[in-house]
Chains A and B, each alone.
Chain A
């Protein structure tokens, strides 16, 4: 049997939830498919207070933002939320296949919004397959979702926001953190987060990297070394850090398999952290009726993911003919909000990335108007 829906949203993170609410607000009916057993995306493990604008609930803890977005979706009779529902493929004939509770499902949406978020990057070094080496997302899930203390003593790799925040959450869980090492000469995450863990006694070592991890049956320690101005290892600078866990927070990359498979035109944009679908200003990809919002179209923040989701939801519902005037107005408001969020130095990188993505769209002969 084929299930029909007006708008299909793939992923129930901040982008997907905001997209569903916005589309339903204009009158469309929406189905959300989420592969996890609970909605919320990254927000379910973010126990810290969020940055961003008050308009996107900044200052509130991520978990509560997630609950609020989920609550709004659940209360809305126009929206159906399906969990344990992994979208497998998007096909030319408009059919989307889903694995739901071990059953194969076919969905025929009129519009689709991909909001699948991101995947963690890993790092290559000798010994990186030892038990005790985790991605930051796994450590966060153990601590903040399962309530398990993941380690005794951790070395964190990466001083971006994720590395800094997860370090802080490890300290809160009573875990010792030996230090945070970062290959770049500067701390990449927000300095208030860095100062917060430094005040708790955790050293942050920039220009440092992992040489190797060692241990018999499980991780016992890590050899680290300093890097010179060219990023080359400085001979003789090696040190050993004893730890039972090495946590890698070396970045995220957009989870774009569905976009590739659907045939979207893609571009590799460093500032957006990987391959991204080329989208227009309504976040529609080169495949008509297929939109991409949130981290899947460039690693950014929950605040911008929510606004992007809203924008895609409005555009998709508007194009189905729902309250076009209102849609137009709300779309302009969402675009203005995105522009404000991206107006500072941290947003500069995203703006540069988006400009390059649009350029890539033009050179590929697309019809992308900026």
Chain B
């Protein structure tokens, strides 16, 4: 159970996963934010007003998957680091996962980073496609990782450091 371990269950995840049809159309945000807490910076972060917390600040965020373009602007703003963007259309075999990262060293595009699941277990080494800084005060980086499609809903963190240069093996 999430409340005992910090690891969301399959049902928890089901409740925030965009419909298959939407995922098949390209990048879209997923908020893994399951608890009613007084928090709402994500709503203001979205330029398309695709995230709503209604009627009051304690509700969990609802993403309008049709309005969301998967731009990723909300990722660095969320204090829970709970928002991810997944693009299932990235390539024939890979999906792009965008995640928030606040450790040093920060990887560079082109390097390989070790992808971790929601328990911190290693899932393999994946190419870093893009790294965007949240700016001087925000300081959260948004890292885009190209992962095998079947891992798109599993990779949710990277290990800090040890980045490898060069192409992914196999």
A193 near B80 with CB under 8 A, answer yes
Q: Are A58 and B6 in contact (CB under 8 A)?
A: no
Closest to A193 in B: B80
* A-B interface, 8 closest residue pairs, ranked by CB to CB distance from nearest: A344-B58, A192-B80, A201-B120, A59-B41, A194-B6, A198-B6, A49-B79, A199-B157
- Contact indicator B78/A59 (Cβ below 8 Å): yes
A362 located at the interface, meaning its Cβ lies under 8 Å from any Cβ of chain B in the complex: no
Interface residues of B in 1-41 (CB under 8 A from A): 2-8, 32-41
Q: A58 touching B119 by the CB < 8 A rule? A: no
Cβ of B120 and Cβ of A190 under 8 Å apart? Answer: no
* Chain B residues whose CB sits within 8 angstroms of the CB of A48 once the complex forms: 79
**Contact among A51, A64, A171, A340 with B137 in the assembled complex (CB-CB below 8 Å):** A64
Known A48-B79, A190-B35, A346-B58; further 8 A-B contacts with Cβ < 8 A: A53-B38, A54-B41, A195-B2, A196-B81, A204-B5, A340-B56, A343-B38, A344-B56
Known contacts A59-B41, A204-B6: does B119 contact A198 (CB below 8 Å)?
yes
**B82 in the interface (beta carbon within 8 A):** yes
Contact (A58, B79) CB under 8 Å given A200-B116, A343-B58: yes
- A301 nearest CB neighbor, chain B only: B38
B79 nearest CB across to chain A (Å): 4
Complex Cα distance A135/B43, Å? 35
Mark contacts of B125-165 with chain A using CB atoms, 8 A cut-off: 1 yes-contact digit, 0 otherwise: 00000000000011110000000000000001100000000
- Total contacting residues, chain A, CB less than 8 A: 42
Whole-angstrom CA separation of A227 from B11 in the bound complex: 28
B49 proximal to A (CB < 8 A): no
Cα A199 to Cα B157 in complex, Å, equals: 6
> In the complex, A268→B61 CA distance in Å?
36
- Tell me what chain A mostly uses at the interface: helix, strand, loop, or mixed: mixed
* Number of A-B pairs, beta carbon distance below 8 Å: 134
Within the assembled complex, what's the spacing in Å between the Cα atoms of A192 and B41? 14
Please pick, from B37, B41, B118, B121, the residue contacting A195 in the complex, using a CB distance under 8 A. Answer: B118
A202 at the interface (CB under 8 A from B): yes
Per a CB cutoff under 8 Å, which of A59, A190, A204, A206 touches B37? A190
Asked if B109 CB lies within 8 Å of chain A CBs, one says no
Say whether, besides A172-B102, A192-B82, A199 and B119 are in contact (CB < 8 Å). Answer: yes
Residue A185 is within 8 A (CB to CB) of chain B in the complex: yes
Contact present for A51 and B38 (CB under 8 Å): yes
Partner of B38, one of A60, A201, A341: A341
The one of B38, B40, B117 in contact with A347, judged by C-beta atoms closer than 8 angstroms, is: B38
Shortest Cβ distance from residue B107 to the other chain A in the assembled complex, whole angstroms: 15
CB distance from B158 to the nearest CB of A (A): 10
CB-CB under 8 A from B3, the residues of chain A are 186-187, 191
User: Given that A48-B79, A52-B38, A172-B102 are contacting pairs, would A199 and B57 also be in contact in the complex, using a CB cutoff of 8 Å?
Assistant: no
Rounded to whole angstroms, the CA-CA distance of A59 and B78 in the bound complex is 6
Evaluate whether A346 and B103 lie within 8 angstroms (CB atoms) in the complex, with A49-B140, A53-B57, A192-B82 already known. Answer: no
Cβ contacts A243-281/B at 8 Å (1 or 0 each): 000000000000000000000000000000000000000
State whether the Cβ of A305 lies closer than 8 Å to any Cβ in chain B. no
Contact indicator A199/B116 (Cβ below 8 Å): yes
